Structure 1
Amino acid sequence: MQKNKNSLRMIILTGLFAAIIYLGIFILRIPIPAMVGRPFIHFGNTLAALAILFLGPRNGIIAGVIGLGGFDVLNGYALTSWLTVLEVIIVGLTIEAVFKYFHHNDSKRNIIIVAITAGAMKIITSYCTSIVEALMVGTAFKTAIVASFLSLPATVINSISTAICVPILYFLLRKAFFAINKD
C-alpha cells in the first residue's frame, strides 16, 4: 500500500482496478433465477476486495464503487446502483477494519479471515439490499423479507468465491503488485 493516496501512480492503479472490477462482472456473468432482483454470479466482489487490500480502503473503495456501481449504471441496474455503492462501502470498511485488527499483517491466516469476513458481510448487505429493492417495487415488508432470503443463492455463491479466490489471487499477485508500486 502506497503512502501517497493522491499520487499519479495511485490514481492510475485505482482506475486500473476499477476497470478490472467492471470487466470481472461484464465478461463472466451467470444469471441466477430469483424472486427479487436479477442476481448473477460474477467476480466483481472478489476483485473489489483485492483492490481494498492492495490500494488501501480509500482508493480500493473508490475502485469498487466505480467498477461495481459503473457496471450497474451502464447495464440496466441504474435504479438500484446506489445500493451497490452502499454495499461496496460497507464491505470495504469491514475488510479494512478486520485487516487493521491484524495490524495489516498479511499472513495466509489473516488474509483468509479477511476474505471469509468479506464474503459473509456481502451476504448480509445483499440480503438488506434485496429487501430494499422489493420494497421499492411495492412488495409488503414480510413478503420482501422472505423473497429476499429466497433470492440469496447467487450471493452465497459469489461470497464463497470471494472467500476462496481472494487469498489465492492476493498471494499470487502480492509480490508483483508491491514491486510495481515501489517508489
Structure 2
Amino acid sequence: MRQEKNTLRAIIFTGLFAAIIFIGISLLRIPIPALVGRPFIHFGNSLTVLAILFLGGRNGALAGIIGLGGFDLLNGYAATSWLTALEVIVIALVVNTCFNLFQQNDRASHIVILGIVAGLMKIVTTYAVSIVEALMVGTSFKVALINSFLSLPATMINSISTAILVPILYFALRGSLQSVRRRA
C-alpha cells in the first residue's frame, strides 16, 4: 500500500488516517501529572506509526501532523503544536528509513523492531520537546533538563504501547488494506 504519489486514493487514505489518529488521541486520554507540560497516555503515536508504514513517509507524516496537530490546535495545545509537527517528521524519517533498510519487507520481526524503534524515538523527541516547552515558559536550561526528564512517565507508557500495538495493528489491518487496494 505504500504509495508516495498524490493519487486520489493516497489523498483519501491520508485523510482517513489523519481522522483515525485524531479520534484515537481524542477518545482515550489519561492525564499524567508532570513538571513540564500536560502529558497524557493515548494511541495517537501508535496510529501515526501505522500511517507511516502503510502510506509511506511523506503521506504518513502528513496524516500524523494533521491528526496530532489538529488535536493540539483544538484542545489547548496550540502554542506547542509546531513541536508536535516536528516530532512527527522526525519519527517519520526514522521509521521510514528503517523500513527502507529492511527493503520494505514486512516480516513480523521487522515490524516489531520498527515498533520498538518508534517507541524509543518518541522518548527522545518528547524529551527534547519538553526541554523546549520548559524554556518557552522561562525555565533555566539546567532546570528544564531535569524537569523534562522527570516528566517522562507518560511518554514511557506511550512508547511501550507503541512498541506493542504497532505490530498487532499492522498485521490486523494489512490484509484489509491490501484487499481495498486490489478492488480499486
TM-score, normalised with respect to structure 2:
0.97
Say yes or no: does 1:13 pair with 2:13.
Answer: yes
Alignment correspondent of 2:173: 173
Alignment correspondent of 1:122: 122
Alignment correspondent of 1:106: 106
Deviation, structure 1 residue 10? 1.0
1:38–1:104 CA distance, 2 compared to 1 (3 A) = same
Alignment correspondent of 2:134: 134
Aligned alpha-carbon RMSD (Å):
0.9
The answer on whether the counterparts of 2:115 and 2:166 sit within 8 Å (CA) in structure 1 is yes
The answer on whether the counterparts of 2:3 and 2:56 sit within 8 Å (CA) in structure 1 is no
1-structure distance, mates of 2:134, 2:19:
30
The answer on whether the counterparts of 1:95 and 1:117 sit within 8 Å (CA) in structure 2 is yes
Point out where structure 2 has 5 or more consecutive residues left out of the alignment.
Answer: none
CA deviation profile, 1:110-144 (whole Å, cap 9, x unmatched): 00000100000000000000000000000000000
Corresponding letter in the other structure for 1:110: H
CA deviation profile, 1:12-58 (whole Å, cap 9, x unmatched): 11000000000000010000000000000000000000000001111
Equivalent runs, 1:49-60 vs 2, <5 Å: 49-60=49-60
SS of 1:37's partner is coil
1:56–1:139 CA distance, 2 compared to 1 (3 A) = same
2-structure distance, mates of 1:77, 1:162:
22
CA deviation profile, 1:54-97 (whole Å, cap 9, x unmatched): 01111100000000011001100000000000000000110001
Corresponding letter in the other structure for 1:127: Y
User: Which stretch shows the higher mean deviation, 6-15 or 105-114?
Assistant: 6-15
Deviation, structure 1 residue 5? 2.0
Equivalent runs, 1:1-183 vs 2, <5 Å: 1-3=1-3, 5-182=5-182, 183=184
2-structure distance, mates of 1:48, 1:2:
14
2-structure distance, mates of 1:76, 1:123:
22
TM-score, normalised with respect to structure 1:
0.98
2-structure distance, mates of 1:3, 1:110:
19
The answer on whether the counterparts of 1:99 and 1:114 sit within 8 Å (CA) in structure 2 is yes
Point out where structure 1 has 5 or more consecutive residues left out of the alignment.
Answer: none
1:2–1:130 CA distance, 2 compared to 1 (3 A) = closer
Deviation, structure 1 residue 9? 1.1
Deviation, structure 1 residue 4? 5.8
Deviation, structure 1 residue 2? 4.7
The answer on whether the counterparts of 1:2 and 1:181 sit within 8 Å (CA) in structure 2 is no
